[in-house]
A and B are shown apart, each in its own frame.
Chain A
């Protein structure tokens, strides 16, 4: 989760997000260079004492400012497409989880081995334990094993929702009547927060997603406990 007044991205917890962070740095650097250049030109044009401001013909600069942007665009497009295809790689997930959006809660189903399913609602502000994060905590977390390739199938029961966890670089729309697949690997154990990212009604801001990555033994313990409890 972000700390107060944070401007940049949160640290990555999956390989794809790490790639996205580096790509963002690269694209932002290009943007800063271009903006600085344009700002400099604007200031120079405003403050000049020269009177001849209307150049009517100059072949060299026209060539430069046509070719150079094309080159810059290619330099941005190549890493971008690389990440795009990386995200859609065929992988072999160890676990498939279904995340179903409802108005206004998420439900998760782990049906690979047994039938495990549960709903998670946001913990209301007045019920928070001291130290919990307002509007981000949920009563059940989507527990997953760390360092295992995972597949999440996202769909919705009623209206559009979107399953998003910024630290994993995941945002997948939950469309009723459609299964959207996303895959990721969690680098590190921990708790990762996200929020519903598609307007879905009155409590759209109040249906968070909490993913908890734990070592495999703990995951097995947790899923047995959940099955017993249900």
Chain B
């Protein structure tokens, strides 16, 4: 009895490949059934977009069985839209979403900057005295006197004869 149900009742234009799952023991979940998708790299989805055809669409499908040269352009487009939701041009077009993403990102970065400024003013203590300008100048003089990194590093950029930075 199961076989005859499958062979006789399923042969119509809105055939949905369910692999006989309706007659199984477990409940058939929506997500296990073949679904429609619009993807550029997979051009042929598993099912047609329109599953339940209106009477005009059904008659169009009958007409499709005949010669395709007899179809007008609108009919060809209507048949396309039965099978597919978006054309390639529609699915490939970009959106303006990037503007809100960039805007949100800049806002959050700015907010973080405000938090950092607040921290520097109200949370952190003073820097050590070694950061004073004149202390730093003495450190710099000592670094040059010690010929620190004379080959390619710091002291190599100082012209010892003319007492200035090398041009």
Contacts and interface: CB of A to CB of B under 8 A. Distances in A.
Contact of B139 (A125, A133, A188): A133
B128 A134 contact: yes
B41 A51 contact: yes
Contacts of A132: 139, 142
Contact of A11 (B41, B92, B142, B152): B152
B10 interface: no
B84 to A, nearest CB: 14
Nearest to A9: B153
Interface string B82-103: 0000000000100000000000
A51 B40 contact: yes
Contacts of B123: none
Nearest to B135: A130
A52 B43 CA distance: 9
Interface in A126-184: 126, 128, 130-134
Interface in B35-69: 40-41, 43
Interface residues of A, number: 22
Taking chain B's interface residues, is the majority helix, strand, or loop, or is none over half, making it mixed?
loop
A191 B149 CA distance: 11
Nearest to B136: A4
Contacts of B41: 51-54
A3 interface: yes
A51 B40 CA distance: 6
B153 A3 contact: yes
Interface string B109-146: 00000000000000000001110001100110111001
B71 to A, nearest CB: 26
A225 to B, nearest CB: 21
A72 B148 CA distance: 35
Interface residues of B, number: 23
B147 A125 contact: no
A10 interface: yes
B151 interface: yes
Interface of A: 1, 3, 6, 10-12, 49, 51-54, 125-126, 128, 130-134, 188, 190-191
Interface of B: 40-41, 43, 92, 128-130, 134-135, 138-139, 141-143, 146-154
Top 10 A-B pairs, shortest CB-CB distance: A131-B138, A131-B142, A11-B149, A11-B151, A134-B130, A3-B154, A130-B138, A53-B41, A11-B153, A51-B40
Given A10-B149, A132-B139, A132-B142, 14 more contacts: A3-B143, A3-B154, A6-B153, A10-B148, A11-B151, A11-B152, A49-B92, A51-B40, A52-B41, A53-B41, A125-B130, A130-B138, A131-B138, A131-B139
